[in-house]
Structure 1
Amino acid sequence: MSDIEIAQQAKMKPIIGLAKEHFGIDAEHLDPYGHYKAKLSLDYVNSLGGKPDGKLILVTAISPTPAGEGKTTTTVGLGDAMNRIGKKTIMCLREPSLGPCFGVKGGAAGGGHAQVVPMEDINLHFTGDFHAIGVAHNLLSALIDNHINHGNALGIDLRRIQWKRVVDMNDRALRNIVLGMGGPANGYLREDGYDIVVASEVMAILCLATDITDLKERLGRIVIGYKTDNKTPVYARDLNAHGAMAALLKDAIKPNLVQTLENNIAIIHGGPFANIAHGCNTVTATKTALKLADYVITEAGFGADLGAEKFVDIKCRMAGLKPSAVVLVATVRALKFHGGVAKEDLNRENLGALEQGFTNLERHYRNITEHYGLPCVICINHFTFDTEAELDLLQDKCRTLGAVCIASKHWAEGGKGAERLAHAVAETADRHLDGCRFVYDDHLSLWEKIETIATKLYGAAKVTANAKVKAQLAAWNGDYGRFPICIAKTQMSFSTDASIKGAPSGHTVEIREVRLANGAGFIVAIAGDIMTMPGLPKVPAAEKIDIDENGRISGLF
């Protein structure tokens, strides 16, 4: 059966009853969205403050490939397995974006017998959080142009407006646009563009805010552009935009509760991409889960050089989180792809390619253990076509690293197939008491932080940028030098060239643009040719998605 067919046969339980059964949450603290989804009230979240925290476990992966790695699937399967062996566990996931759902990935709620449900709802609109984020973002855009149209009392320089518009869909035609056409009644003619919602600073702010007050304050700090003196920033609060924006987000800030196929609670909240944003679910969701459960399993997007680095250097740094262990997900198929095997040949045994591709896993493992200072369990997400010889070779290679390596069958068997992994992860987390290390120190300059990430984690020999980028970073050092760095680059490689597989070294990372995310509290450094508005592939997943006369959806993997 396909993933969606498995999900459609799930025996879901009413979420209000599950919340009470598992964590003693009374119905009055839940805002139900139908029978199987609910938002948790902020009053209840705040009431948990005095409880001790559980252990935080991060699931990350090797550099992504078209073969797939199964990070979300592993997060769900591991969470189900932890509960099966008597470990009180909650999973914290990100919300899927409609762009990839209709573009390349199809669905993003796990796979096989390790999924969160209701799968169609989670992938399609869910509880409306992304809509609210997009509307709040675009309200600010509208207020900027309205202010200029009515006299521009703030003296905003039309050439230096930094705030784009957003939409939650891959649409390359919107990357650069001209607006205000049609004469004076339609505003001033100027260039603009669109990012995808997951790249919005409002998304990052929602994910990093601790409460409504913090949310509104961060929204007010957004720098929308500069005055005509070329140096004075204009903030969202100067337009009195932050109150209305926060009002639009009043429900979006509440964590969403759903369940797995095995009726365990998962929190799905927030959804920034890790290649163009910071790639982690909300701080509110993670901290809430830590008060409710003994173990919290969360995932960060794409490979450990992107999502995991930002989880450590941005989320943990800002929120004071102390992770206890990392699970690094790989597949035999993906490692063979990194070893040079074409996608259509990945189901054939190839020990030489597997050994060559292992370099990618090795670098991620060393980054996690040496630079993030965290213990790491390697999970081999098992595929039917994996041979015993390939699995043996992979286990041997992991042993040479001194790594715990478990082949797990959660896709095929659900939590039962991940029990060995669950025992290994729980034992690892229980032993670690020190939290994590940051890749760079706060006191470094912004440019030095970028260089440190690129050389330590990516294996780069140097970092380059044009004079304009370097001058901008130097100018920001005074007011924003303490900010962490959010590098936007291709997820497919340690380099900025998506075609270079394995573990390249000695390459150059070019920073072509930098953006100030003052409300979120970090600097975005855009490397190589990565786009903050993706495009659809030649054959989008949307072409295979359909709905019948009974409302049954198909094609959403």
Structure 2
Amino acid sequence: MKTDIEISQSAQLQNINEIAAQLGINEDQLEPYGKYKAKINLPFSGEKNGKLILVTSINPTAAGEGKTTLTIGLGDAFKRINKSCAIALREPSLGPVMGIKGGATGGGYAQVAPMEDINLFFTGDFPAITEAHDTLSALIDNHIHHGNELNIDPRTVTWKRVVDINDRELRHVIVGLGGRTSGVPREDGFDITVASEIMAILCLSNNLDDLKQRLSKIIIGYNYDREPVTVGDLKVTGALALLLKDAIKPNLVQTLEHTPAFVHGGPFANIAHGCNSILATKAAINYSDYAITEAGFGADLGGEKFLDITSKALGKRPDAIVVVATVRALKLNGGVAKDNLDEENVEALLKGAPNLGRHIKNMKQYGKPVVVAINKFTSDTEEEINALTDFISEQGVKSYTTTVWENGGAGATELANELVKACDNDDPFIPLYNDEDDFMVKLNSVVKKIYGGKDVVLSSKAKKQLTELKKRGWDKLPICIAKTQYSFTDDAKQLGAPKDFTINVRELQPKLGAGFIVVLTGKVLTMPGLPTHPAALDMDIQNDGTITGLF
């Protein structure tokens, strides 16, 4: 059996100009990066107002859900039923690529390509975001070193540094050692690039002017009078925007079946809002009749954040929602060990199925049609598929078994035809909360209506921060909860669909540039670590340029 990279390397790709021509993108708007990649200049020339389909999933597990693979295969399925379609995906972070999670280009015969380029440095967007972020860090410390005109209290600097690799050694560091010529000593730390507010800003900006407005609002710390200090106060907005002048442009690539794919931006959904850039989604909407986008991790994280944060900035709500599930993942939720998932176990499947049931219920709350995609593995038995289909029917939604990993777009044509019908609905969108609601009302709405919890407990630090947020009027922003992706709770080990639990909030972080408040819960980290056996140990490149071991 071929590996994903072998399948991708054996594919015959079309020149990116041909992919752009499918969408009516003219050469003046196209900036090729070689034969198979390009950036799209702003503003877009496309005038379509395509239907929007959101793909989300159950909580991720070690068994695999295949959400990105399904999204890509679904785009190919729309093409197979002769519908104009483009997909919008997040870019992979180098941290997971070199770690354990893997890349973000799909798998089997449902991939975007060239997968090696996309999974590594692609068109340089993440390096540009990293450089912009760390340039700001350097400018902050330089300002303090050279007289500190803004009276910044070094103890309150909230702007950490970033690097796009999992490196636990950098979570907490001391900077400025080495004497008077080496800066002012203070505590600092590193986040992973995808946790940077600049990443969130890039993904939520509509154009360059919007990007600059958002950058100027970033809070970097506080002065000795306890007033916030922003990028605008430092007068470096223009310099940061300059470093992002190319990164803001969406990237165009293709699937193995030559469906256009906009791959751009990549905040993690467990520590940020978890969706590709709204410019990539807007491009898909403007240039095709059906735009398919994917939100990070499960529907409790990326799905909720797309619906309550991203789609508001986008100015368009989804016309239909797909929830991806697998028999294997639900059996794991039902207590089956990872090594035994290939064995038939209907009882465990039904024990774990409430996890899917809650995600279905959650997505239905928003008023738009919900369809379940059962991503079929070769080990799934007929009895298991039938049992899961019956369970989904009991939740009041339709389901379709898909085989896109094995068959590409041909494995999801039934689902595609159903979504064409579902997108014709005119049901009103129902937001989970209103921005003007009390902060705790918004927080409880997510915890109770999405997670299934009963209560929220704020640490003493978070309580003081909430008082400050209300004092400054920042509490009226949307909330972006940072939580483990593996559970509805803030404890990664609680699988299934637990009820009546408490979410513990340790810190509130105002992200004025991004336009939301980050709510840090449990033990979620903004700088991951590498596993015992990082994927990097299996990677290599041959003298002829052939890459091996990249999934």
Among residues 326, 330, 354, which one is paired with 1:331 in the alignment? 326
2:278–2:313 CA contact under 8 A, matched in 1: no
> For the residues of structure 2 that align with 1:326 and 1:435, how far apart are their CA atoms?
14
Alpha-carbon offset, residue 439 of structure 1: 1.2
Equivalent position SS for 1:42: coil
Question: Counterpart in 2 of 1:485?
Answer: 479
Contact 1:324 1:435 in 2 (8 A): no
Letter in 2 for 1:103: G
State the TM-score, normalizing by the size of structure 1. Answer: 0.97
What is the CA–CA distance in structure 1 between the aligned matches of 2:159 and 2:438, rounded to whole Å?
25
Partner residue, 1:145: 141
Q: Which residue of 2 aligns with 1:285?
A: 280
| Partner of residue 447, structure 2 | 454
Equivalent-residue separation in structure 1 for 2:469 and 2:521 (angstroms): 18
Partner of 1:468: 461
Q: Kindly state the Cα deviation for residue 295 of structure 1 after the two structures are TM-superposed.
A: 0.4
What pairs up with 1:309-320 in 2 under 5 angstroms? Answer: 309-320=304-315
Deviations 1:527-546 (A, max 9, x none): 00000001111111111111
> 1:95-494 residue pairs with structure 2 within 5 A?
95-230=91-226, 232-370=227-365, 372-430=366-424, 432-434=425-427, 436-477=429-470, 478-494=472-488
Q: Is the 8 A contact 2:456 2:505 kept in 1?
A: yes
- What is the one-letter code of the residue matched to 1:446? F
Instruction: Give distance in 1, aligned partners of 2:330 and 2:450.
Output: 19
2:520 corresponds to which of 506, 526, 537: 526
Matched residue type, 1:19? A
Contact conserved, 1:271 with 1:280, CA < 8 A, in 2? yes
C-alpha deviation, 1:197, in angstroms: 0.5
CA contact (8 A) 2:433 2:442 kept: yes
For residues 459 and 24 of structure 1, what CA distance do their matches in structure 2 show?
45
Matched residue SS, 1:207: helix
Q: Is the 8 A contact 1:81 1:416 kept in 2?
A: yes
Q: Where do 4+ consecutive residues of structure 1 move more than 4 Å?
A: none
- The 2-side partners of 1:389 and 1:479 are apart by 55
Give the TM-score taking structure 2 as reference length. 0.98
Per the alignment, in what secondary structure is the counterpart of residue 380 of structure 1?
A: strand
- Distance in structure 1 (CA, Å) of the matches to 2:484 and 2:170: 20
Superposed CA deviations along residues 333-366 of structure 1, whole A, max 9, x for unmatched, are 0000000000000000001100000000000000
The question of whether the paired residues in 2 share the 8 Å contact of 1:106 and 1:555 is answered with: no
Q: Note the alpha carbon deviations across 1:233-283, whole angstroms, 9 max, x for none.
A: 101011111100000000000010000000111000110010100001111
Say if 2:31 is the partner of 1:31: yes
Give 2:145's aligned amino acid: N
Distance 1:157 1:42 in 2: 40
Q: Secondary structure at the residue paired with 1:516? A: strand
Per-residue displacement from partner, 1:472-500 (whole Å, max 9, x unpaired)?
A: 11221242122100000100000011111
**What amino acid is aligned across from residue 437 of structure 2 in structure 1?**
L
Structure 2 residue aligned with 1:2: 3
Matched residue type, 1:161: V
Cα displacement string for residues 422-480 of structure 1 (whole angstroms, at most 9, x for unaligned residues): 111211112x2235322112222222211211111111111101222112112212421
Secondary structure class of the residue paired with 1:328: strand
Q: Secondary structure of 1:536's match?
A: coil
CA distance 1:161–1:96, shift in 2 (3 Å): same
Give the Cα separation in 1 of the matches to 2:42 and 2:276: 17
SS at match of 1:8: helix
Counterpart residue identity of residue 451, structure 1: N
Query: Could you say what secondary structure the match of 2:62 adopts?
Result: coil
Structure 2 partner of 1:69: 65
Shift of 1:421: 1.1
Q: SS state of the match for residue 305, structure 1?
A: helix
Q: Distance in 1 between matches of 2:288 and 2:313?
A: 22
Shift of 1:18: 2.0
The CA distance in 1 between the partners of 2:16 and 2:493, in whole Å, is 44
Alpha-carbon separation, structure 2, partners of 1:192 and 1:446: 29
Contact 1:90/1:289, CA 8 A, preserved across alignment:
yes
**Number of residue pairs matched?**
549
Structure 2 Cα separation of the partners of residues 79 and 104 of structure 1: 27
- Aligned residue for 2:294, secondary structure, equals strand
The amino acid of 1:221's aligned partner reads K
**Unaligned stretches of 5+ in structure 2?**
none
- The CA deviation at 1:519 is 0.5
For 2:55 and 2:400, locate their aligned partners in 1 and report how far apart those are by CA, in whole Å: 14
Q: Partners in 1 of 2:419 and 2:335 — Cα distance?
A: 31
Please tell me the residue identity of whatever aligns with 2:192: I
Q: CA deviation at 1:106?
A: 2.5
Q: CA RMSD in A?
A: 1.0
Question: In structure 1, the residue corresponding to 2:408 is in which secondary structure?
Answer: helix
Q: How far apart, in 2, do the equivalents of 1:155 and 1:434 lie?
A: 53
The CA deviation at 1:52 is 4.1
Cα distance between partner residues in 2 of 1:498 and 1:437: 29
Q: Does 1:550 align with 2:551?
A: no
Q: Does 1:539 align with 2:533?
A: yes
Please name the residue that 2:498 is paired with: 504
Unaligned stretches of 5+ residues in structure 1: none
Rounded to whole Å, the distance in 1 between the matches of 2:32 and 2:311 is 30
Contact 1:226/1:234 (CA < 8 Å) preserved in 2? yes
**Among the aligned pairs, what percent are the same residue?**
55
Q: Is the 8 A contact 2:262 2:283 kept in 1?
A: no
Letter in 2 for 1:269: H
339-348 or 432-441: which moved more? 432-441
